[in-house]
A and B are shown apart, each in its own frame.
Chain A
Amino acid sequence: MKLRMSHKERVLASFNFEEPDRIPIDIAFRSEPWTKLKSYLGTDDDEKVFRWCGGDFRVIGMNPPEGWRPTLHPDGTFEDEWGIRRKIGSTGLYEHFHYYHPLADAEDLSNYEFPDPSDSTRWQTANEIMKKYGEEYAMLGANATTLFEISWQLRGFKKFLRDLYINSKFANQLLDKLTDIRIEMGLIMIEIGVDIMFLGDDVGMQTGMLLPPHIWKKHFKPRMQKIIYAYRSKKSDIIIDYHSDGDITAIVPDLIEIGVNVLNPVQPDCMDPVKIKNEYGDRLAIRGAISVQETMPFGSPEEVKSVVIERIKTLAPGGGFAIAPSHVIPPETPVENIVTLYKTAQKYGFYPMRS
């Protein structure tokens, strides 16, 4: 092991189940706590704050094409480039999706124009970020809400569930088209230089799977496998990081089977990260495991510290663990908790671990 690794070396070692110099750290914020942290640290420099937190990952993704702007409608909804309309809630913090779904009444896809990933203006920012950080950092390609989430946003939640249960023709058409788009997006990001592909759909909830596993296995597993296979054909050592909120224990073996290397975020409120480590720790790494439902917003700094140390103690041995909040740090989080999270992770995250 090198005494001091680059961010990229650190992450790649860990996700290949070797012990790096210290546990990798990923940062994920809502804008409000990020602003709070900046003012706490007395700087307006985002880059400085990122480095202070010790982040080891940088993210690239597909942007809308040059000149595109979201449409604001008179009813207060705004429309993204997929044609999906959302509205911001009364507290200004969250967006609601269930307003307008462009495929709600469609019988097929003939009248719908999907975003075209091949437009090079979509990737300018991604190329710039790669140029700046690609050598030093672990580069993650954003390709989540891969199939299920974007499908229900396009179609409407209940309607898309109905497709999955009884209208396979439409579900297959839509999912096949999205599979092609995700493959195309991913191959472009591999070309740009990502180390890790971030895939995923929220198919879990607090008490278990949201979708019945048989539905997931029928519609999503084979398509996810096809996507992963396409990436591996181009870059054999691409790391696949799969995200779902909630408890998805039921499909973890399937995810490993189709080639997933990292599970994110292993929401500790409903899914035991130690159990995942014990059962699959030699094949499946964990990125996450710090609760944003309880620990971050409601814990005391002492509690945050003890949770972080506990996670390091139980999940870090042998590599395969990057510490991160289990979702973006929510707006209500006290800044002291954020400071404690990143300080503790950097102070106690060094290998070899002290007992």
Chain B
Amino acid sequence: MSLEKIFQAIVDLDIENIAEIVKISLKKGSDPYQVLDYLRRGMDEVGRRFELGEYFLADLVMAGETMKMAMEVLTPYLRGQDEKVCGKVVLGTIQGDLHDIGKDIVKALLSSAGFEVYDLGIDIPPEKFVDKAKEVGARVIAISSLLSTTVPVVGDVVRELKKANLRDKIKVIIGGAAVRLYHVEKYGVDAAVNDAVKGVEIIKSWALSDEFKWQDGNLEEAHVKRV
């Protein structure tokens, strides 16, 4: 019952009560990972409603904030146990573009789905995406561009990846209002989407696919962690 309430609080964007609801549930003996699972299910439902046109961008932002409040309570209970990271993603807004609302929503959705997100921020030069992915061993680079005129810079990220011989090891997804399907071919990325929910779905599908094995840490030594 208390777990259902957690799911419902996320779906209702109940930012005022979520912390208390999570606390009570833990006090009653709920397994922290089960709490996390219900929070995630809530976020999935919010995403589903967004895709259906029942929820709007502002609702996604609020859902992210609600999730954040829940995680503040929950995180200490998750420590010490095996963290189930289902993959690392390097995220940022491309150089020349300063928009961050969409990027922040992607971050919230990815984090709540169990990904470890390295958020570089806005106005990020192409090489920084690659350097960070190399450093942390991420297998996905997710790039946001709201301006149609900054999308071409994404091509430079792909070129940098090729230069570093990492193109076949790292997937690149671009997202934002200005992104079009033909950009996949034009700039040599793996996926292009117009909204955060779809983008996260694609990254999740990569994480689950057989051909794409997540690895943690070092690019030479694959250590697969699956969702």
Contact = CB atoms under 8 A, between A and B. Distances in A.
A330 B149 contact: yes
A157 B125 CA distance: 25
A207 B195 contact: yes
A331 B149 contact: yes
Nearest to A333: B149
Contacts of B59: 212
A332 interface: yes
Nearest to B96: A91
B194 A165 contact: no
A215 B149 contact: no
A165 B56 contact: no
Nearest to A211: B58
A157 B100 CA distance: 11
Contact of A293 (B13, B55, B178): B178
A335 to B, nearest CB: 15
Nearest to A206: B177
Interface in B10-63: 13, 15-16, 53, 55-59, 61-62
B11 to A, nearest CB: 14
B170 to A, nearest CB: 24
A162 B64 CA distance: 11
A96 B123 CA distance: 10
Name the residue among B61, B177, B195 with the largest chain A CB count within 10 angstroms: B177
A318 interface: no
B95 interface: yes
B122 interface: yes
Interface string A195-217: 00000000001111111110100
A210 B59 CA distance: 9
Given A162-B65, A205-B57, A94 B98 contact: yes
Contacts of A330: 147, 149
B201 interface: no
Chain A interface category by residue count: 20 to 34
A88 B149 CA distance: 17
A316 B178 CA distance: 28
Given A98-B100, A166-B15, A90 B58 contact: no
A158 interface: yes
Given A158-B61, A158-B65, A93 B177 contact: no
Contacts of B122: 89, 96
Q: Which 10 A-B pairs have the closest CB atoms?
A: A206-B177, A96-B98, A293-B148, A212-B56, A91-B96, A332-B149, A210-B57, A89-B123, A89-B98, A211-B58
Given A94-B147, A95-B98, A161-B61, 4 more contacts: A90-B125, A157-B101, A210-B58, A211-B57
Interface of B: 13, 15-16, 53, 55-59, 61-62, 65, 95-98, 100-101, 122-123, 125, 147-149, 177-178, 194-195
29 contacts: A89-B98, A90-B95, A90-B123, A91-B95, A91-B96, A93-B96, A94-B96, A95-B98, A157-B61, A158-B61, A162-B15, A162-B65, A165-B13, A165-B15, A205-B57, A207-B195, A208-B56, A209-B56, A210-B56, A210-B57, A211-B58, A212-B56, A212-B58, A212-B59, A213-B56, A293-B148, A293-B178, A330-B149, A331-B149
